[in-house]
Amino acid sequence: MPRVIGLMSGSSLDGLDIACVDFSSIGDYPSEKWTFNIVHAETMPYSSDWVKKLSTATELDARSYLLLHTSYGHYLGQCVKDFIAKYNLEINTIDLVASHGHTVFHEPWNSMTGQIGDGAAISAETGVLVVNDLRAMDVAYGGQGAPIVPIGEKYLFENYRLLLNIGGIANITDQKHQIAFDICPANRILNKLVQQYLNKEYDENGEYSSQGKINENLLNKLNELDYYKKFYPKSLSNSFGLDIIYPLLESNPSNVHDVLRTYVEHIIQQICDSIQMIIDKEKQDNSSYVNCKMLITGGGAHNKYLFQGLKTKLQEKFHIDIIDSMSDVIDFKEALIMAFIGLLRIQKKTNVLASVTGAKCDTIGGAVWSN
């Protein structure tokens, strides 16, 4: 039974997600049945220093960027060691560390994606086999390099037709059609607004957004952005939220509560519009989603105001059933799947699906580091 530690750092910059997972499988590839058990998991919050380093990485010169890549790799390795010590795990029971790293650049139209966090440094710190750089092979074959989680959803969450992750960026998967794509910036924008104007880390349970009113003019400007008109496969870089969306919000005359409320509505509408896009492009009708199961994960699933508003809209428009899940799945699904993607890489099995990313073929992605 392989034991893998998965690492995930998302664009919301709330911390490093670490999950220690035991996997088992029955049957022959590619039709085997997988099960998993999250042994331990936690989010290690970033210090203000690391938040600043990661959020300004795009501004660095080449040498400084490479130095950050290396130092962040050593930091990740130290976090893994601290995690192992905290939960009294035996280092010789860990077969693999699979690290997503932190995305700084993502330009698939230029055949480039960049996640920092040197795999050699992680391996040197931990003494464990490491897989990282999970997106590059797909991008090299003409894919978007995102989303990459659908391979894990296919094998680990096969009972769900729809999977929605509301993290720094919201993304959706329709398993029936093997479709997945980024929807819109989500928590990264909500968190930044609250941090800048209300001196809070995040809008707990949507307390502040629930006090505001929708600014229809701002909402229309947001919904008219070109990205939302593009058909999948498609993916977003962090710069879309920070360089295009956030200036629109800052230039708005509404108070911050109204801006938050408007952006929550924008997220809800774009999720619904994305489902409608799938229906239209795949020549379905709205009844095709009646009573289908949707799993919602990520930090946005804890925003009660956002979650309830979304649940109401999805029920009204598509009659989708939102399924409650365990908190460790809600919070650590992406770290779990990074662990799984790394395991597939070591087993030399497909771990990124071309049907999702638009690449020329399925790929086996990831760089392997061993001392």
pLDDT of residue 355: 95
Tokens of 79: 């976090």
Q: How many CB atoms lie within 10 A of CB 201?
A: 11
Q: How far is the C-alpha of 149 from the C-alpha of 298, rounded, in Å? A: 13
Q: Could you give the 3-state DSSP secondary structure of residue 239?
A: helix
Query: pLDDT per residue over 145-187, tens digit each?
Result: 999 999 999 999 999 999 999 999 999 999 999 999 999 999 9
Q: CB of 335 within 8 A of CB of 41?
A: yes
Is the pTM higher than 0.85? The answer reads: yes
The type of residue at 269 is: Q
What is the Cβ-side half-sphere exposure of residue 25, based on CA atoms within 13 angstroms? Answer: 16
pLDDT of residue 17: 98
Torsion, Cα of 236, 241, 247, 251 (10° steps): 120
Alpha carbon separation from 223 to 74, 300, 317 (Å, rounded):
41, 20, 18
Tokens of 42: 């936690």
pLDDT of residue 310: 97
pLDDT of residue 174: 97
Full set of structural domains in the chain with CATH: 3-156+332-369 (3.30.420.40), 162-291 (3.30.420.40)
- Peptide bond preceding 147: is omega within 30 degrees of 0, i.e. cis? yes
pLDDT of residue 244: 96
Query: pLDDT per residue over 253-264, tens digit each?
Result: 779 999 999 999
pLDDT of residue 139: 98
pLDDT of residue 46: 97
Q: CB of 294 within 8 A of CB of 161?
A: yes
DSSP 244: I
Low-confidence ranges of the chain (pLDDT < 70): none
